[in-house]
Amino acid sequence: MTAAIEFLPPLLVVNVLTGLLDWFLVAVDGGFSWVAEATGLQFLGYPYMQRAYLSVLCIGVVGPLVGSFLVYRDLSMVGDTLAHTAFAGVAVALFLDATLSIAVPPLLGALVVAVIAALLVQALVEYTDARSDAALAMVLTGGFALGSVLISLTGGGISVGINQYLFGSLATVSRADIGLLVSMALVVAVAVAVAYRPLVFVTFDETAARASRVHVRVVNTLLSILTAFVVVSAMRIMGVILVAALLVVPVVTASRLGHSFKQSIWYGIVAGEFAGFAGVTLAYLFGLAAGGSIVLVAIGGFVAVAVGLRVSH
Amino acid sequence: MTVVSLSDVAFSYGDVPVIDGISLDIEAGEFLGLVGPNGSGKSTLLRLLLGLERPDRGEAHLFGEPAHEFGDGERIAYVAQDVTDAARDMPITVREVVRMGRYPRNLFGRFSDADRAAVDGALDRVDIADLADRRVGALSGGQRQRVFVARALAAESDLLALDEPTVALDAESRDSFYDLLADLNDRGLTIVLVEHDIGVVTARASRIACLNRELYFHGDSEDFAESDALAAAYGANQRVLDHSHDHHDAEAHASSDSEAKS
């Protein structure tokens, strides 16, 4: 009896969350369909396109949000490293499914492995004398190597779906993915909002932060984990090879525009959303790779801003 | 009150000894200049006394507690040597940086009126209130160092530690920066700074510690000028930067012992 009561709340929470997700997707569908009808843009009514837009809406926010704390510390490669290890996570999930019939959602596999890799990078830098870029390179290649070996172990059985993880795809974001994506985006946004001050302090002046007894190691670990969340969120659309761009390019664009740090974060989000929405639309209209389109639009935005600033001065 | 107390402190990076058997106390209200040749361990000593490194031997105390365990972050302000590199690229305003001074006291909660008043007061105090909304990267070197001092003032800290703060400044900004430090010191702030320019630091600091791995001198700045500690610490034929008497070689009567150390 007591056991049943103890199990009730988690069940209830799950029910409420799935209910919320359903309600959310219906609302989103309603909104998109209305726009689709009003504008005559049919593709806005397709559920898979709606999910693609929803995912770029999320990653356009969390990418630059977290990236702002990486770029100015020369940690831009952290995103790329975690993305490549997340690929190993996908491979592990597919491998378990193919060989042992244990169904693990690939994104969950990616998240778990990316978080472990984030902690591993921290440990390598702190407890060995490895330089951080060498540590990153080791974890990056190690993760990717593990992924490729696992794939080859199944005799090519799971390699069919691998391309979409490498290069990203519009059509593969499932309903379950969207649930995970939206929740991860919320977690990241709330975490950054709560830990904003220690994150800014450590980003700007790590030594002074340490002297002021800010727990720099905890902040760094949090940042790595948040990066892992972002990378996994964006992986489906962007592909592991390109996912890091969304942590970096909008931030660099915004650094030219922003006056204050807060302002530059907002500009970064605007740049990220623009790249995401324009990239997904172009990818659909011209049948292009989604990740590549988003990254090229983002870089185009950077060039446009740089040229614009040069002209206006 | 004793702010910093080092007793027989030794520290090495790997097998390379950097600090060996240094004991010194810093009393509240002191203005201590740390001098010594390049690689003499000045910056490391600063990091040891702030508790950023743990001594291999001996003890470092900060406000009476073991320095590495000391937890009142707001009482210490540190301006590291490399801080200005980050400041150049990152879009961040003067006010945002000075607000960081309040973070040790208020890391998560809303800023109170007292927090805001402390920030505004600090900006006024170092004369950069009109720059509050400017990007730190767009400031001159002298203005930027004032921003970091303002951050320390906003923290209302008791100890301000600076590592070669004037290295990139022209003579005029350097003088006005030292005027500011002297003024803050008069009002009771304890200051420790590493300075490569011995002429400037002996003129400005009330106390001098001269080291080259070991401590060669610790006392009042007037006595330092008359001692032969400088030559001993720098060894023979070392060029000593001293703007007050142009560049000159340190007097070459150092023992072979100190030559081996430099």
| A155: confidence class by pLDDT, cuts 50, 70, 90 | low
- Please state at what angle helix B141-154 crosses helix B113-125, rounded to 10 degrees: 140
Could A204 and B87 be called an inter-chain contact, meaning their C-beta atoms sit closer than 8 Å? yes
| A5: confidence class by pLDDT, cuts 50, 70, 90 | low
Euclidean distance between CA atoms B36 and B21, whole angstroms: 16
Query: What ipTM describes this predicted complex?
Result: 0.85
Average pLDDT, stretch B168-194?
90
Share of chain B above pLDDT 90, in %: 48
- Please state at what angle helix A175-194 crosses helix A2-39, rounded to 10 degrees: 100
| Neighbouring residues of A54: CB distance < 8 A, sequence distance ≥ 6 | A28, A173, A178, A181, A182
- Bigger pLDDT: B254 vs B2: B2
Q: What is the DSSP string of A44-94?
A: GGSHHHHHHHHHHHHHHHHHHHHHHHHHTTT-HHHHHHHHHHHHHHHHHHH
B100–chain A Cβ distance below 8 A for any pair: yes
pLDDT tens for residues A227-284?
999 999 888 888 888 888 999 999 999 998 988 999 999 999 999 999 999 999 999 9
**A213 contacts in B (CB within 8 Å)?**
70-73, 76, 104
Euclidean distance between CA atoms A192 and A277, whole angstroms: 23
Cα of A70 vs its chain's centroid, Å = 14
Cβ atoms of B250 and B202 closer than 8 Å: no
Average pLDDT, stretch A201-205?
92
Could B79 and A200 be called an inter-chain contact, meaning their C-beta atoms sit closer than 8 Å? no
A204–chain B Cβ distance below 8 A for any pair: yes
Query: Tell me: domain A66-243, CATH 3.40.50.620, correct?
Result: no
pLDDT tens for residues B182-241?
999 999 999 999 988 888 888 889 999 999 888 888 988 888 877 877 778 877 445 555
pLDDT exceeds cutoff 90 at A159: no
pLDDT exceeds cutoff 50 at B260: no
Tell me the residue type at A245.
Answer: A
| pLDDT attached to residue A1 | 47
Fold of B2-87+158-261: Rossmann fold (3.40.50)
| B245: confidence class by pLDDT, cuts 50, 70, 90 | very low
pLDDT exceeds cutoff 60 at A119: yes
| pLDDT attached to residue A242 | 87
Average pLDDT, stretch A114-143?
81
**Tokens in use for B117?**
């008043």
Could B89 and A72 be called an inter-chain contact, meaning their C-beta atoms sit closer than 8 Å? yes
The domain segmentation of chain B, as residue ranges, is: 2-87+158-261
pLDDT tens for residues A278-305?
999 999 999 888 889 999 999 999 999 9
- Bigger pLDDT: A216 vs A23: A216
- To test the contact with chain B by mutation, choose from A70, A71, A128, A207 the residue with the greatest count of B C-beta atoms within 10 A, namely A207
CA nearest to A70 within chain B: B90
pLDDT exceeds cutoff 50 at B251: no
Q: What is the DSSP string of chain B?
A: -EEEEEEEEEEEETTEEEEEEEEEEEETT-EEEEE-STTSSHHHHHHHHTTSS--SEEEEEETTEEGGG---GGGEEEE-TTHHHHHHHS--BHHHHHHGGGTTT-SSS---HHHHHHHHHHHHHTT-GGGTTSBGGGS-HHHHHHHHHHHHHHTT-SEEEEESTTTT--HHHHHHHHHHHHHHHHTT-EEEEE-S-HHHHHHH-SEEEEEESEEEEEEEHHHHHHSSHHHHHH-TT-EE--GGG-SEEPPS---HHHHHH-
| pLDDT attached to residue B85 | 65
Whole-Å CA distances, B41 to A112, B37, B112, B225: 44, 9, 41, 21
The domain segmentation of chain A, as residue ranges, is: 66-243, 245-313
Q: Average per-residue pLDDT in chain B? A: 84
pLDDT tens for residues B96-131?
999 999 999 888 888 999 999 999 999 998 889 999
Euclidean distance between CA atoms A279 and B136, whole angstroms: 34
Cβ atoms of B69 and B108 closer than 8 Å: no
| B62: confidence class by pLDDT, cuts 50, 70, 90 | very high
Nearest beta carbon to residue A211 from set B78, B90, B106 = B78
